[in-house]
């Protein structure tokens, strides 16, 4: 049981499934999901960029939906299932989206990459994007200051192609 308490301040008991493993936590109610993941859980794959919902680096999947973990109090998610980048794949068994990012060199510094990949996995599952323009619009919640956007869109298109969700390639980018 992870414990991140300070004495004499309010605490709550919650349970979360983290990458498939049910765990119990005693934590202060102001602990964000992001800080729980990166602190006591030592799952530092999820990145803290702006910490204000403006960059998407902290994107994780909560009950299958992508959200900004920096703007979620962990206590408000009691009972939920969380998937982070660590839960998508492993060095010996990459998720297809991770493979595609490697294949297409869809990063430079890599700091935004875990958030980009979690977001992209959700985008494919949501099924609202077909064209490249739609991919770009629906990935707009993930900023990449290195500017790897073209390759990120390429990687996502490849995954969608492989899954026979054929996006329409556009001449002008």
Partner 1 sequence: MRPFSFNRAETVKEAIAALAQNPDAKLLAGGTNLIDLMKYEVTHPGMIIDINRLPLKEITDLPDGALRIGALASNSAVAYDERVKARFPLLSSAILAGASPQLRNAATTGGNLLQRTRCYYFYDTAAPCNKRAPGSGCSAIGGVNRIHAILGANPACIAVHPSDMCVALAALDTVVEVEGPQGAREIAFLDFHRLAGDEPQRDNTLQTGEIITGLRLPPNPFGQNHTYLKIRDRLSYAFALVSVAAAIEIDKGRIIDLRVALGGVAHKPWRDTLAEREFADRAIGESTFREIAERLLIGAKGQGQNDFKISLARNAIIRALRQAAAGTPQDQTVKAIQ
Task: Give the DSSP per-residue string, 21-56.
Answer: EEEEEEE-TT-BHHHHHHTTT--TTS--SSSSSSS-
Q: How far apart are CB 163 and partner 1 at their closest, in Å? A: 19
Q: How far apart are CB 39 and partner 1 at their closest, in Å? A: 14
Q: How far apart are CB 147 and partner 1 at their closest, in Å? A: 14
Considering only residues 51-80, where is the footprint of partner 1 by CB under 8 A? 51-53, 56, 59, 65-68, 70-73, 75-76, 78
Sheet holding 2-3, edge to edge: 2-3, 21-27, 12-18, 81-83, 59-62, 65-68
Cα–Cα distance for residue pair 114/112, rounded to 1 Å: 6
Identify which range of 17-25, 93-101, 130-138, 150-158 contacts partner 1 by CB under 8 A: 130-138
Using alpha carbons, list the distances in angstroms from residue 86 to 39, 42, 82, 157, 167. 15, 11, 11, 23, 28
Among 42, 126, 161, 173, binds partner 1 (CB under 8 A): 126
Pairing mode of beta strands 81-83, 59-62: antiparallel
Q: How far apart are CB 48 and partner 1 at their closest, in Å? A: 12
Q: Does 173 bind partner 1 (CB under 8 A)?
A: no
Residues at the site binding partner 1, with contacts judged by CB under 8 A: 9-10, 12, 28-30, 32, 51-53, 56, 59, 65-68, 70-73, 75-76, 78, 119, 122-123, 126, 128, 131, 133-134, 137-138, 140-142
């Amino acid at each position: 049981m992870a414990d991140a308490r300070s004495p004499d301040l309010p605490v709550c008991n919650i349970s979360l499934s983290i990458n498939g493993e049910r765990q119990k936590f005693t934590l202060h109610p102001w602990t964000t999901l992001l800080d729980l993941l990166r602190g006591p859980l030592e799952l530092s794959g999820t990145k803290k960029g702006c910490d204000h919902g403006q960059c998407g680096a902290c994107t994780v999947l909560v009950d299958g939906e992508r959200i900004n973990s920096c703007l979620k109090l962990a206590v408000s998610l009691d009972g939920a299932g969380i998937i982070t980048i660590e839960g998508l794949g492993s060095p010996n068994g990459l998720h297809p989206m991770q493979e595609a990012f490697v294949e297409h060199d869809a990063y430079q510094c890599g700091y935004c990459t875990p958030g980009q990949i979690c977001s992209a996995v959700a985008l494919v599952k949501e099924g609202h994007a077909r064209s490249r323009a739609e991919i770009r619009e629906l990935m707009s919640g993930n900023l990449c200051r290195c500017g790897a956007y073209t390759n990120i869109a390429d990687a996502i298109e490849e995954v969608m192609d492989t899954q026979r969700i054929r996006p329409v390639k556009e001449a002008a980018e």
